[in-house]
Amino acid sequence: MLHPTSLDLTSKTKPSHPWSTHGSAAYDHVRFEPETAHATRSILSPQEQDRCMVSNWLLVAVGGAAGAVLRVYLSETIPSSGFPWATLSVNLVGSLLLGAITAAALTNVVDEATALMLGAGFLGAFTTMSTFSVETIALVDEGRWSAAGAYVVLSGLVCPIFAFLGWKSTQSWVG
């Protein structure tokens, strides 16, 4: 689903986050026509909107289940040795992949349902801001200010850089 405030149906630009799960049912089926590069809206009955909304929720749930299981697996298998390497790793990889999925969705390489399942579902559960926050506080509580600072800087600077790299490399790959 696309967020209705991110759309200008007269604009020739696409929204910046096609994987967003926010929005009203009236805008659930906004799609982009690659030939004209502008948004069009299909009119659905309330029953069709409900079915599509449930379908989207199921896509997010399936993707989220897989992402959460993989995150827990990696947190149990990546050695931490006093630094939250597992969480940093999943957040870096997740940022790179979300950038790539966003670019792929905006260039119609993947459809909206796939972007929703992978972006909001899989990567939403795979990456974790809450664990990052708790691990940062734990490092501070242990008096490990340098490690906490490095973790915040690495997460706050490198994750967006990875998202940018994923986005731009996918854009250049698809043309």
* Digitized pLDDT (tens) for each residue of the chain, 175 residues in all: 333 333 333 333 444 455 444 443 333 333 433 444 444 455 767 777 767 777 889 999 999 999 999 999 999 999 988 899 999 999 999 999 999 999 999 999 999 999 999 999 999 999 989 889 999 999 999 999 999 999 999 999 999 999 999 999 999 998 7
Assigned domain for 24 exists? no
Assigned domain for 5 exists? no
Q: Which residues of 147-168 are buried (b: 16+ CB within 10 A; e: fewer)?
A: bbeebeeebeeebeebbeebbe
Assigned domain for 37 exists? no
pTM (2 d.p.): 0.69
Assigned domain for 55 exists? yes
Number of domains in the chain: 1
Give CA–CA dist 86/82, Å, rounded. Answer: 11
Assigned domain for 167 exists? yes
Assigned domain for 19 exists? no
Assigned domain for 95 exists? yes
Domain that holds residue 150: 47-174
Cβ-based neighbours of 93, under 8 Å, separated by 6 or more = 126, 162
Note the helical H segments in 40-144: 46-77, 85-106, 112-115, 124-126, 129-141
